[in-house]
Structure 1
Amino acid sequence: MHRRQFLIGATALVAVTALAGCTTGGMSVFTAEYGSVKDAGYQLPQIPIAKVPRKYHRQIVKYDTAEKAGTIIVDTNEKFLYYVMPEGRAMRYGIGVGREGFEWSGTARIAMKREWPTWTPPAEMIRRQPELAKWRGGQPGGLQNPLGARALYLFNARGDTGYRLHGTPEWNSIGHAMSSGCIRLINQDIIDLYNRAENGAKVIVV
């Protein structure tokens, strides 16, 4: 399936109805949660979080939406991912999104969750960047793996969309449009989201 075909027909409906939410300033900001972390034998480095705009630090915000708790809503324009919580709140994370030509929107479900996942570049990416051919069979998980410490795999009725919510070693990409379409989070944030999100959870990307 071509990425640009991902629920194009549903995009307009999603844009109007799915992100019926608004947010206010952080109720709790987790700026202190970006220190070095030992995880599954890997030592994640400390993030120089002072260099990341405060609005992209993980925080609980007031968030009004008709979507039920456990839903994930991705606002690609504002570069925020919201994990909907009870009582009109959400955990908000700063994200990096697809660069020009790789934007997308639609709805999906989390079908799989993986720790320190293997990354396999798609054929079209290898054509654009032939140096990635060495990973045609998959790049093992690790500190330099583009998927980072965790990945949540997005599927729809047609199967694997090819998109992921995943970590990244490139913390300075948060707040920017730099990816090939996937939604990337700081590794410390994707670990937090991974622990909250359930298989089958609804994901809305606007």
Structure 2
Amino acid sequence: MFNLGAFKLNSRRAAAFGALAIGAVAFSGAASAAPLQLFPFIIEPPAAYAPPAMQSAPSEDEDATAELPARLKRQIVSYPTREAPGTVIIDTPNTYLYYVLGGGQAIRYGIGVGRDGFTWSGVQSITRKAEWPDWTPPPEMIARQPYLPRQMAGGPGNPLGARAMYLGGTVYRIHGTNAPQTIGTHVSSGCIRLTNQDVSDLYSRVNVGAKVIVLPMDRRAENAPGKRG
């Protein structure tokens, strides 16, 4: 026989248990959110790095949906130059990377470059290429930012992104980023960053040994076209 009194009692117990469970979840959520306030730092503002617990994990192609301004989207442009096809030219002040195709054309990519005091210029070559590279911050960066990890395995949460191309014997790289919103800005410690989709495209074209020309902040490549878009 159905016992209405027992049902009412059990219903009260279930309601009380549910309230406690909801409270526990709310408390747990608040507790798990609290540590986020303890880590406001980033390597290279804005949002160049955050501890893994704070990061989303974009896939190699996920940042394809990031809406870049028209001028920063990958495109073939007119680019008269005496440099051989396969050369990479970094237009630092305009945040462009040109991959020379020859015949007066180049592929232009939007990039992020060094912030104030961290830009550099010169001629280097690609000495190594890596997919989903590990990240080992150089001693100079550790000295400035001692909270950084000493080493981070490659993967979607790694600040170097999907691909890296190492420049000579320097600490600088052309690499991807898990912060596509920083493209077009002066944000890094001297490395050149592209979206993961763009760096994967460039990686497929550039050979080890390729020449890389990094222009200073106060000039652009000879005969380089002006800004578009």
TM-score class, shorter-chain normalisation, is: 0.7 to 0.9
2:86 is equivalent to residue 86 of structure 1: no
Q: Deviations over 1:103-127 (max 9, x none)?
A: 1000000000000001100112112
Following the alignment from structure 1 to structure 2, what is the Cα–Cα distance between the partners of residues 115 and 191? 9
Q: Please list every run of 5 or more consecutive structure 2 residues that lacks an aligned counterpart in the other structure.
A: 1-57, 216-229
Matched, 1:170 2:179: yes
In 2, Cα distance between equivalents of 1:113 and 1:47: 22
How many residues are paired up? 157
Please name the residue that 2:198 is paired with.
189
Aligned partner (choices 77, 90, 97) of residue 61 of structure 1: 77
- Partners of 1:96 and 1:175 within 8 A in 2: yes
**Counterpart contact for 1:143–1:149, Cα < 8 Å:** yes
Deviation at 1:60, TM superposition (A): 0.5
Does structure 1 conserve the Cα–Cα contact (< 8 Å) formed by 2:66 and 2:181?
no
Offset of 1:47 from its aligned partner?
3.6
Q: Tell me how far apart the structure 1 counterparts of residues 207 and 113 of structure 2 sit (CA, whole Å).
A: 22
Give the secondary structure class of the aligned counterpart of 2:142: helix
Q: Quick one: which amino acid aligns to residue 165 of structure 2?
A: L
Provide the C-alpha distance between the structure 1 equivalents of 2:79 and 2:178, rounded to a whole number of angstroms.
29
CA RMSD of aligned residues (A): 1.2
Query: Is the contact between residue 99 and residue 180 of structure 1 (CA under 8 Å) also seen in structure 2?
Result: yes
1:43-62 equivalences in 2 (<5 Å): 43-44=59-60, 45-50=62-67, 52-62=68-78
The question of whether the paired residues in 2 share the 8 Å contact of 1:47 and 1:171 is answered with no
**Which consecutive segments of 4 or more residues in structure 1 shift more than 3 A?**
46-49
Measured after TM superposition, the shift of residue 144 of structure 1 is: 1.3
Aligned residue number for residue 145 of structure 1: 158
Alignment of 1:1-206 (within 5 A): 43-44=59-60, 45-50=62-67, 52-132=68-148, 135-136=149-150, 138-155=151-168, 160-206=169-215
Per-residue Cα deviation, 1:154-205 (whole angstroms, up to 9, x for no partner): 00xxxx1111000001101000000000000000000000000000000000
| Displacement after TM superposition at 1:46 (Å) | 3.8
Please tell me whether Structure 1 or Structure 2 has the larger radius of gyration of its CA atoms.
2
Percent of aligned pairs sharing the same letter: 56
Q: What displacement does 1:43 show?
A: 3.0
Structure 2 residue identity aligned to 1:149: A
* Structure with the bigger percentage of strand: 1
Contact 2:175 2:192 in 1 (8 A): yes
TM-score normalised by length of structure 1: 0.74
Scaled by the length of structure 2, what TM-score is found?
A: 0.67
